[in-house]
Amino acid sequence: MRYEQIVRGHARNYRLDPALLAAVIYQESKFRADAKSDSGAIGLMQLKPETAKGIAIRTGGNRFQTSDLYNPEINVRYGSWYLRHLLDKYDDEKTALAAYNAGQQNVDTWRAQGRGIQFSETRAYVDRVEHLKHVYRRAYGL
């Protein structure tokens, strides 16, 4: 698996299941460090620059540049921090994945209204990441 050392290292540092982290990376970018979406999300974990800048500040960085997101080490570090933040906030993996895909504001609104995931794309995203997590666990022993 590409970037296995980075995935394992940040999974350990942020108390993440490495298979989950690998699954998110695959679903977001197919492990392409140069990936860029139409919405401006960049890199392996498809982070938006404004989100990444906030993470950089929260984690002690003060010199964030958008180009940093093309660096696999930095991108996975920030993405791992963000995924851990979502898991801590929602205390539920599927809800955290929904927030990673659809945004915290949408998930918070759905939860306040007592509803589940309202976007079919996000439901499919969560299901696909959960499936990929099991694939990575079997294939790579993650």
Q: What are the structural domain ranges in the chain? A: 4-140
Q: Which of 4, 28, 93, 121 is catalytic?
A: 28
Tokens of 55: 């993470």
Say what the pLDDT of residue 62 is. 77
The model carries a pTM of 0.95
Q: What is the CATH number of domain 4-140?
A: 1.10.530.10
Question: Hey, how many other C-beta atoms are within 10 angstroms of the C-beta on 115?
Answer: 9
Amino acid letter, 137 = R
Contact indicator for 7, 29 with CB cutoff of 8 Å: no
Active site residue 28: yes
Sequential pLDDT tens for the chain (142 residues): 899 999 999 999 999 999 999 999 999 999 999 999 999 999 999 999 999 999 999 988 778 999 999 999 999 999 999 999 999 999 999 999 999 999 999 999 999 999 999 999 999 999 999 999 999 999 878 6
